[in-house]
Structure 1
Amino acid sequence: LNDQFGQSHFEFDVDGRNYHVLRTGCFPYIKYHCTQRIKTNDLSYENRLYTFFKIFNL
């Protein structure tokens, strides 16, 4: 099960700490950039924006 399929920018909670995750690359070379930050309300706009950039780059 891949809970991150199709997500480029999302939040991930680990032990009560919130991380912003930027996921890029292509299988099997997927890269993650993780930053601990304060939880935000909604990252769906940023997720769509990064997905657009990936598709536009093809």
Structure 2
Amino acid sequence: MADVTLAQPEFPPRTLGARVHGNDGDKFGEGILLGLLLLWIVHIIKIGDGFEQIEHHNEKV
């Protein structure tokens, strides 16, 4: 029973605290990656709209 109570948690509290407060560099990197992904998705949507406009233009002519 003593082994169970003395078992160390898998994640030390200070590491969790650093993650929550964003003190580690990983959060900054994740933000950049998410931003680039969002820009990429918006770019693809804009390209798709452009193709649709071209198709509509060709139908009118």
TM-score normalised to the size of structure 1?
0.31
Q: Which has the higher helix share?
A: 2
Higher relative contact order (CA 8 A, sep 6+): 1
Q: What TM-score, normalized by structure 2, do the two folds share?
A: 0.29
Would you tell me which structure has more strand in proportion to its own residues? Answer: 1
